[in-house]
């Protein structure tokens, strides 16, 4: 059966903002095969700052409730997450009690038909999320800095459930009532949830990514998890006019917990072909390549290289179209979510004045998209920075690949670089000088090349320079693919 892109209903959100770390940590069982799936998820790793990350999920195993799976995943992304975002206060904080809307309204947002059976399934999915106990020991940036300009981090450590179903209408529910699912309600009754304080902190503090819901929910369950983990990487390749991105097989298996790790090449290829089957049929990726690697004292691993296809660009276009959709107020222009009407944006941007939206050009939209996808800056902040510090945004994004740094908080660092007008690297000034001295024929070759920047250089990763290096481009795709692959900044 060929891939078919499903249409979203008018009540459904086109995009969902998802905290980056929470997106990578496994929680939902996105698989049609439930046999052999562990009821306890255990993940250990390290964040970008090198701090250890410990994450465990103890799923309910009863026949009445069960673990959060495909239906719970849909309810979370199409209903709960948008409701959380729309409930944010003007200072960014998230209230404890959140309204999801009437039962009938909730069903429409998820894309399910309105009826008693579906309403029970909706409450069951919410209960599955509520009854999954989490154990977390990790650090998230607070957005603040100390006196020395270093980002402050907050440790999230404890046991909690992400949320609980607080009430339906005026009726407050107990855990026993939720588990038995025998209480009475009306389709017009409003569902309220209570976020755990630790979950609220995680939602509030993390950098966020954007998912294209139309594409995401057109996929099979196993392919949805691949999209969650790979969408940002594919966007980086497409936006930088690269050819491919690479991941380690072991990294992917660690984040897609319902998959078993294999070591034989034919099993790895067979397994991952099943994972990306929908993405190949849709044209989101053109092909995948596999290369075995063996490090000392380590099991055999595989480098998987993915080449984006035309559907990847179409998905990104849908997100950007939704972001730039001309509305009367800025909060509607970005995301389609009901952002607080009193969000204050610097007067220098003048975006509250008549005709302000006409200031947004195609170049502005591209800059905002890069801030959103590559650095995890929130939509409102990206909008504000682009309109109030346009030249600085453009300059800092241009010189970013030349900066030999790995900030702990990319979003916070880039915001400060834009607002404080950080100095550009000396290498950038040298490249600009050399570019001005180039003969016309060379400049024309650079302009026609889709691999390098406008100075004729590429940032690549090779065996000799595993951390990346800047080298002059030959403008020949075959030669460049042999010399080293594009390193996403």
Provide the CATH number for the domain around residue 279.
1.10.10
Answer yes or no: is 215 within a domain: no
- Give pLDDT, residue 209: 84
181 φψ region: left (φ > 0), alpha (ψ -120 to 50), beta (else): left
350 φψ region: left (φ > 0), alpha (ψ -120 to 50), beta (else): left
Answer yes or no: is 2 within a domain: no
Closest among 111, 155, 120, 160 to 137, alpha carbons compared: 155
Do 172 and 33 sit in the same domain of this protein?
A: yes
Residue span of the structural domain in which 32 resides: 15-206
Do 361 and 412 sit in the same domain of this protein?
A: yes
* Sheet strand arrangement including 40-46: 40-46, 52-58, 133-145, 151-161
Cα angle 129-131-133, degrees, rounded to a multiple of 5: 95
Distances (CA, A) of 414 to 57, 394, 417: 33, 11, 5
pLDDT tens by residue, the chain, 489 residues: 578 999 998 889 899 988 888 899 999 999 877 676 778 999 999 887 788 999 999 999 888 899 999 999 999 999 999 999 888 876 678 889 999 999 999 999 999 998 888 999 999 999 999 999 999 999 887 666 666 667 778 889 999 999 999 888 877 877 777 777 777 888 889 999 999 999 998 888 777 788 999 999 999 999 999 999 999 999 889 888 889 999 999 999 999 999 999 999 999 999 999 999 999 999 999 999 999 999 888 899 999 999 999 999 999 988 888 776 633 334 333 333 333 333 333 333 333 333 333 345 667 777 888 888 788 887 778 888 887 888 899 899 988 888 888 787 888 889 989 988 888 888 888 777 766 666 776 667 776 676 676 667 676 666 555 555 667 777 776 666 666 544 433
Do 333 and 408 sit in the same domain of this protein?
A: yes
Do 44 and 86 sit in the same domain of this protein?
A: yes
Do 361 and 379 sit in the same domain of this protein?
A: yes
**8 Å CB contact between 320 and 362:** no
User: How many domains does the chain contain in total?
Assistant: 4
Do 365 and 384 sit in the same domain of this protein?
A: yes
Do 40 and 175 sit in the same domain of this protein?
A: yes
Domain boundary among 421, 436, 460: 421
Cα angle 170-171-175, degrees, rounded to a multiple of 5: 145
Do 178 and 254 sit in the same domain of this protein?
A: no
Do 34 and 72 sit in the same domain of this protein?
A: yes
Closest among 431, 428, 475 to 449, alpha carbons compared: 475
Q: Is 125 exposed, middle or buried (0-12, 13-18, 19+ CB in 10 A)?
A: buried
Name residues whose C-beta falls within 8 Å of residue 219's C-beta, 6 or more positions apart in sequence: 227, 278, 279
Answer yes or no: is 315 within a domain: no
Distances (CA, A) of 279 to 3, 25, 237, 273: 8, 22, 16, 10
**8 Å CB contact between 456 and 448:** no
Q: How far is residue 416's CA from residue 18's CA, in Å, rounded to a whole number? A: 23
Say which DSSP state 138 is in. E
**8 Å CB contact between 1 and 324:** no
Do 236 and 348 sit in the same domain of this protein?
A: no
Do 276 and 175 sit in the same domain of this protein?
A: no
Q: What is the mean pLDDT of the chain?
A: 81
**N- to C-terminal Cα distance for the chain?**
37
Domain boundary among 402, 421, 440: 421
How many residues in the chain?
A: 489
Answer yes or no: is 158 within a domain: yes
Closest among 459, 471, 70, 488 to 308, alpha carbons compared: 488
355 φψ region: left (φ > 0), alpha (ψ -120 to 50), beta (else): left
Answer yes or no: is 3 within a domain: no
- Give pLDDT, residue 344: 34
- Give pLDDT, residue 339: 38
Domain boundary among 368, 400, 421: 421
CA gyration radius, the chain: 23
Query: 62: helix, coil or strand?
Result: coil
Query: 391: helix, coil or strand?
Result: helix
Do 89 and 163 sit in the same domain of this protein?
A: yes
Answer yes or no: is 5 within a domain: no
* Residue found by looking up tokens 């399910």 in the block: 112
- Give pLDDT, residue 158: 94
Q: How far is residue 344's CA from residue 339's CA, in Å, rounded to a whole number? A: 12
Answer yes or no: is 53 within a domain: yes
Q: How far is residue 39's CA from residue 59's CA, in Å, rounded to a whole number? A: 5
Answer yes or no: is 10 within a domain: no
């Amino acid at each position: 059966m060929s891939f078919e892109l499903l249409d979203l209903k008018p009540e459904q959100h086109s995009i969902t903002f998802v905290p980056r770390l929470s997106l990578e940590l496994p929680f939902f069982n996105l698989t049609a095969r439930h046999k052999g799936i562990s009821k306890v998820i255990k993940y250990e790793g390290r964040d970008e700052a090198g701090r250890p990350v410990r994450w465990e999920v103890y799923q309910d195993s009863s026949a009445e409730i069960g673990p959060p799976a495909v239906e719970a995943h849909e309810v979370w992304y199409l209903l709960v997450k948008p409701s959380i975002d729309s409930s944010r206060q003007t200072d960014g904080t998230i209230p404890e009690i959140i309204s999801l809307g009437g039962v009938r309204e909730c069903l429409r947002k998820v894309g399910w038909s309105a009826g008693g059976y579906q309403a029970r399934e909706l409450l069951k999915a919410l209960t599955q999320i509520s009854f999954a106990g989490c154990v977390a020991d990790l650090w998230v940036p607070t957005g603040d800095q100390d006196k020395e300009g270093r980002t402050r981090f907050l440790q999230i450590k404890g046991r909690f459930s992400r949320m609980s179903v607080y009430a339906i209408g005026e009726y407050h529910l107990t855990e026993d009532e939720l588990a038995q699912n025998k209480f009475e309600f009306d389709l017009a009754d409003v569902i309220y949830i209570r976020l755990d304080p630790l979950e609220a902190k995680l939602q509030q503090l993390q950098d966020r990514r954007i998912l294209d819901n139309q594409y995401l929910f057109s996929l099979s369950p196993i392919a949805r998890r691949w999209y969650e983990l790979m969408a940002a990487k594919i966007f980086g390749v497409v936006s930088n006019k690269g050819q491919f991105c690479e991941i380690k097989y072991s990294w992917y298996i660690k984040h897609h917990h319902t998959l078993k790790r294999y070591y034989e090449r034919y099993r790895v290829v067979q397994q991952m072909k099943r994972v990306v089957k929908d993405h190949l049929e849709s044209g989101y990726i053109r092909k995948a390549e596999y290369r075995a690697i063996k490090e000392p004292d380590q099991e055999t691993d595989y480098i998987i290289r993915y080449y984006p296809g035309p559907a990847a660009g179409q998905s990104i276009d849908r997100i950007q179209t939704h972001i730039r959709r001309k509305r009367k107020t800025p909060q509607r222009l970005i995301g389609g979510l009901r952002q607080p009407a009193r969000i204050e944006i610097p007067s220098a941007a003048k975006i509250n004045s008549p005709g302000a939206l006409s200031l947004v050009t195609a170049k502005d939209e591209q800059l905002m998209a890069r801030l959103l996808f590559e650095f995890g800056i929130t939509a409102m902040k990206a909008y504000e920075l682009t309109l109030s510090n346009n030249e600085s945004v453009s300059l800092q994004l241009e010189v970013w690949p030349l900066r030999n740094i790995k900030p702990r908080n990319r979003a916070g660092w880039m915001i400060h670089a834009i607002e404080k007008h950080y100095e550009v690297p000396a290498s950038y000034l040298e490249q600009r000088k050399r570019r001005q001295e180039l003969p016309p024929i060379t400049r024309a070759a650079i302009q026609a090349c889709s691999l390098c920047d406008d100075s004729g250089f590429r940032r690549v990763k090779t065996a000799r320079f595993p951390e990346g290096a800047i080298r002059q481009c030959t403008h020949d795709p075959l030669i460049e693919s042999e010399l080293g692959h594009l390193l996403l900044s």
